[in-house]
Structure 1
Amino acid sequence: MRLRFLGSTSEAGACPSLYATDRGTIVVQGLTLTDPDAQADLRHVLHGESAVEVPRELLLEIARDVLSAPEPGRCVADHD
């Protein structure tokens, strides 16, 4: 799998950051959620999974950028 950096809210480009994969998925880089109360609110966490906290502004910014750009190999006119 290959990653393409999408953006970060950190001035130094550290976490939290989002990446697009060549599989059509998103990878989230961030500090592991360690607050016990917040961890208790998580559902269906499988072995090997973890949760990271991402600022809402980062998700909105990346969503606007990703949704406004055509998918690789797809013409803008192809959108439904």
Structure 2
Amino acid sequence: MIYILAALLPPLGLLVNGQPISALINLVMIVPCILLGLIFPLLFLLPSAHAVIAVHMKRTDRRQREVLEAIQRSGVPPADWRP
């Protein structure tokens, strides 16, 4: 669900994911992309791509942190962990 929000409303998706600085950068990035997007339509996708990638990286970091904490607590990886 967060990926859909990040693709359709990039700054809001980043804010909901807990990345206010990335949301601000994305908001600043939207203005030139809209202006230059009239010439190069592919630039309309740049803020959405930035948001989706940032959300994915943050979620991956969280998952890795959870696995590391579980290993440190018990000495073995969690049961649902897959490399």
Instruction: Identify the structure with bigger relative contact order (alpha carbons < 8 Å, sequence gap 6+).
Output: 2
- In the superposition, the TM-score normalised over structure 1's length comes to 0.29
Normalized per residue, the structure richer in helix is 2
- In the superposition, the TM-score normalised over structure 2's length comes to 0.29
Normalized per residue, the structure richer in strand is 1
